[in-house]
């Protein structure tokens, strides 16, 4: 069975009991699954005790924008939060429950900032997250044997903003999702091309977290296989705004017809575009 939050917005409150106040998943709990390098190692988990995590961070307030959206901001921490704990918390964390897919798995998008300008994005596929009932935090009500294990089935990693940051994630079928990511000029000309076949002329193209040129959307089959490119959307005006563009950047802008309306490319058109760049923009 597949459910999408758009059609079930009135049923997504996490109910603790008939008399308890509705609770929401704390954003910090999802941060335990983020595959982001911090220091010399990567801190990530495949499962956690959701009830224990909720209780651990219960003193940290967060905003619940809707039954399926919530965000945490470190600036809202109180004096009760120790300096050591504040240093380990993200500056900002937010999630959106997309919907339920097959095998009772729930798709969730997650964005996090650890200070500075970088905002990293993820898609998670979880098992153990019920859209109709939330684990009771009170041990007396829940019972000692009640399980609340949240298991990460899959991670769809994104980057920092223009560097392949996820801008949209949707359920397309019970076993397929679409993921839209931002892209840079450098990312455009090498998208889908094996590294050994990539030209040497890519180096002068912008490739930074604020160098967006558009977006690309892929379809991911959760049963396996490589992601399938659906389309690429380019905004030529972004190239026109660049100051002192390089020779290759100016050539790329001409190919896109910078200043015209947005350009949409399918897989074949993208391949032809990349071939034109390789020959005309050496």
144 and 12 in one domain?
Answer: yes
Q: What is the four-CA torsion angle of 251, 165, 65, 30, rounded to 10 degrees?
A: 180
130 and 22 in one domain?
Answer: yes
Q: Which domain holds residue 261?
A: 161-282
258 and 189 in one domain?
Answer: yes
pLDDT at 49 over 60: yes
- Residues comprising the chain, all counted: 282
Consecutive H or E run containing 69: strand 69-73
Condensed to tens digits (0 to 9), the pLDDT of residues 200-259 reads 666 678 889 998 999 999 999 999 889 999 999 997 656 655 667 788 888 888 888 755
Condensed to tens digits (0 to 9), the pLDDT of residues 139-167 reads 544 445 455 788 999 999 889 999 999 99
Distance from C-alpha of 247 to C-alpha of 204, rounded to nearest angstrom: 8
Condensed to tens digits (0 to 9), the pLDDT of residues 58-107 reads 889 999 888 789 999 998 776 667 777 777 889 999 999 999 998 889 99
Q: Name the burial class of residue 27, with classes exposed (0-12), middle (13-18) and buried (19+) by CB atoms within 10 angstroms of its CB.
A: buried
126 and 178 in one domain?
Answer: no
117 and 26 in one domain?
Answer: yes
- What is the rounded average pLDDT of the residues 110-127? 92
The residue from 117, 136, 159 where one domain ends is 159
Instruction: Choose among 42, 25, 33, 208: nearest CA to 131.
Output: 25
How far are the Cα atoms of 7, 143, 158, 196 from residue 68, in angstroms, in the given order? Answer: 12, 26, 21, 43
Number of domains comprising the chain: 2
pLDDT of residue 267: 94
pLDDT of residue 160: 93
The residue from 159, 174, 200 where one domain ends is 159
Distance from C-alpha of 104 to C-alpha of 60, rounded to nearest angstrom: 29
130 and 29 in one domain?
Answer: yes
Question: Residues of the chain with pLDDT > 70: what percent?
Answer: 75
CB 54 within 8 A of CB 29: yes
Strand pairing category for 120-127 and 105-113: antiparallel
168 and 147 in one domain?
Answer: no
177 and 121 in one domain?
Answer: no
Mean pLDDT of the chain: 79
Residue with the bigger pLDDT between 73 and 261: it is: 73
pLDDT of residue 199: 64
Condensed to tens digits (0 to 9), the pLDDT of residues 5-44 reads 433 332 233 332 222 223 678 999 999 898 654 443 445 6
pLDDT of residue 9: 32
- What is the rounded average pLDDT of the residues 124-144? 65
How far is C-alpha 32 from the geometric centre of its chain's CA atoms? 15
Distance from C-alpha of 264 to C-alpha of 75, rounded to nearest angstrom: 40
Distance from C-alpha of 13 to C-alpha of 91, rounded to nearest angstrom: 26
181 and 113 in one domain?
Answer: no
pLDDT of residue 12: 32
């Amino acid at each position: 069975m597949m459910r999408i939050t758009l059609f079930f917005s009135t049923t997504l409150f996490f109910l603790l009991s008939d008399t308890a106040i509705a609770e929401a998943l704390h954003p910090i709990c999802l941060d335990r699954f983020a595959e982001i390098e911090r220091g010399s190692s990567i801190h990530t988990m495949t499962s956690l005790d959701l009830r224990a995590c909720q209780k651990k961070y219960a003193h940290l307030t967060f905003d619940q924008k809707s039954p399926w959206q919530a965000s945490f901001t470190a600036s809202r921490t109180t004096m009760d939060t120790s300096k050591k704990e504040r240093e380990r918390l993200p500056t900002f964390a937010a999630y959106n429950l997309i919907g339920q897919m097959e095998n009772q798995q729930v798709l969730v998008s997650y964005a996090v900032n650890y200070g500075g300008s970088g905002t990293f994005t993820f898609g998670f596929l979880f098992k153990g997250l019920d859209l109709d009932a939330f684990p009771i935090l009170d041990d007396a009500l829940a019972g000692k044997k009640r399980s609340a294990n949240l298991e990460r089935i899959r991670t769809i990693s994104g980057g920092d903003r223009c560097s392949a940051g996820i801008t949209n994630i949707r359920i397309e079928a019970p076993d397929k999702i679409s993921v839209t990511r931002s892209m840079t000029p450098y990312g455009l000309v090498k998208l889908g091309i094996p590294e050994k076949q990539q030209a040497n002329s890519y180096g002068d193209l912008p490739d930074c977290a604020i160098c967006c040129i558009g977006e690309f959307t892929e379809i991911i089959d959760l049963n396996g296989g490589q992601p399938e490119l659906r389309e690429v959307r380019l905004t030529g005006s972004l190239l026109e705004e660049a100051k002192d563009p390089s020779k290759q950047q100016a050539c790329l802008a001409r190919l896109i017809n910078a200043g015209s309306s947005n350009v949409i490319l399918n897989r074949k058109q993208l391949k032809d575009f990349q071939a034109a760049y390789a020959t005309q923009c050496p």
